[in-house]
Amino acid sequence: MVAKIIDGKAVAQHVRAQCREETAALKARGVTPGLAVIIVGDNPASKVYVANKVKACTEVGLHSTVYAFAADTPDAEVEAKILALNADPLVHGILVQLPLPKHFDAKRVLAAISVDKDVDGFHLYNVGALAQGETVFPPCTPYGVSKMLEYENIPIEGQNVVVVGASNIVGKPMAMMLMQRDATVCICHAKTRDLAQFTILADILVVAAGVPNLILPQMVRTGAVVIDVGINRLPDGRLVGDVDFEGVRQKASYISPVPGGVGPMTITMLVHNTIQAARRQAELAEG
């Protein structure tokens, strides 16, 4: 079996076309969806991602502003900016690019973002809502993966899903989201003994560990759907995921590539969430 490659860029374009229509409709009502991005320090990867986010906003017709702070900025200054953005009616979504420099209490910073503007879905309220199946802003990366599966008509109910990686921004919300859709979910992490005994059971394998070549063909069931969330820059400059792409594609039924897989979807779902935020805030304001 040779896998079908899930073209994340194409799925992203499809979702962005819908986003453009919704944005045009909001603009006709006098509302331009606006995103504020806060970036602290000068992590080169973060700069690339933020630039991609701004580009996607512009492409769809959203307004976006980047607030860049030096790495040694006091927490209080960043929190004050968040509070000002919470109160700004032209800003509908607020995103704090992670990771923050070490001296920051990231949890505290994220908690300062208004729940109604938390387009990343990282606020504790939104995390709790996701656990109860009522989320307002699904976190962008797991949301993007769900959209990719939906676009390819891949069933989720009753499927064995194995998520490799248990972070708050990818692994945990991914597992929660697919469990809500009635998959049987297993979460693996760095202390999992014999990863392969779990991955081999997966009908859908989602990998978000940040370890190149973590997933080899012998760890994958023939016909499995393999979604590679990992982003790794190799010493030679190449960008790769966590999956041995050439090996695993000989065995899987579907596989998502890196680049051009989950990455473009993450950015697109951020745009989508910002439009939803603008719509909701406009409806509240209009009463």
Query: Residue 94: is it exposed, middle or buried by C-beta count within 10 angstroms (0-12/13-18/19+)?
Result: buried
Question: Is 278 labelled a binding residue?
Answer: no
Shortest Å distance, C-beta 100 to ligand GUE = 9
Question: Is 167 labelled a binding residue?
Answer: yes
Angle between helices 140-151 and 262-286 (to 10 degrees): 110
Clarify whether 120 is annotated catalytic. yes
As a three-state string, the secondary structure of 53-109 is: HHHHHHHHCCEEEEEEECCCCCHHHHHHHHHHHHCCCCCCEEEECCCCCCCCCHHHH
C-alpha span between 241 and 230 (Å, rounded) = 4
Quick one: what does residue 192 bind among ligand GUE, ligand NDP, none, with the CB cut-off 5 to 8 Å set by partner type? Answer: ligand NDP
Contacting residue, 180, 189, 213, 253, with ligand NDP by CB under 6 A:
189
Question: Is 165 labelled a binding residue?
Answer: yes
Shortest Å distance, C-beta 115 to ligand NDP = 22
Shortest Å distance, C-beta 192 to ligand NDP = 6
The answer to whether 221 touches 201, Cβ cutoff 8 Å, is yes
User: Which is catalytic among the residues 81, 97, 147, 242?
Assistant: 97
Clarify whether 97 is annotated catalytic. yes
Site mask for ligand NDP (CB under 6 A), range 223-242, x = bound: ------xxxx----------
Is the Cβ of residue 138 or residue 264 nearer to ligand GUE in the bound state?
Answer: 264
Q: Which residues of 43-76 are buried (b: 16+ CB within 10 A; e: fewer)?
A: beebeebbeebbebbeebbbbbebbebeeebebe
C-alpha span between 84 and 230 (Å, rounded) = 34
Quick one: what does residue 164 bind among ligand GUE, ligand NDP, none, with the CB cut-off 5 to 8 Å set by partner type? Answer: ligand NDP
Q: What tokens were used for 167?
A: 């972070």
User: Which is catalytic among the residues 7, 116, 118, 120?
Assistant: 120
Interface residues toward ligand GUE, by CB under 6 A? 48-49, 52, 95-98, 120, 140, 231, 239, 258-261, 263-264, 266-267
Shortest Å distance, C-beta 221 to ligand NDP = 18
Site mask for ligand NDP (CB under 6 A), range 117-156, x = bound: ------------------------x---------------
Contacting residue, 208, 240, 275, 277, with ligand NDP by CB under 6 A:
208
Shortest Å distance, C-beta 205 to ligand NDP = 12
Is the Cβ of residue 106 or residue 195 nearer to ligand NDP in the bound state?
Answer: 195
Quick one: what does residue 171 bind among ligand NDP, ligand GUE, none, with the CB cut-off 5 to 8 Å set by partner type? Answer: ligand NDP
Strands, E assignment, the chain: 4-5, 34-40, 63-69, 93-96, 160-164, 184-188, 204-207, 225-228, 232-233, 239-240, 254-255
The answer to whether 209 touches 241, Cβ cutoff 8 Å, is no
Q: Which residues are catalytic?
A: 53, 97, 120
Residues near ligand NDP, by CB under 6 A: 141, 164-167, 169-171, 188-192, 195, 208-211, 214, 229-232, 262-263, 266
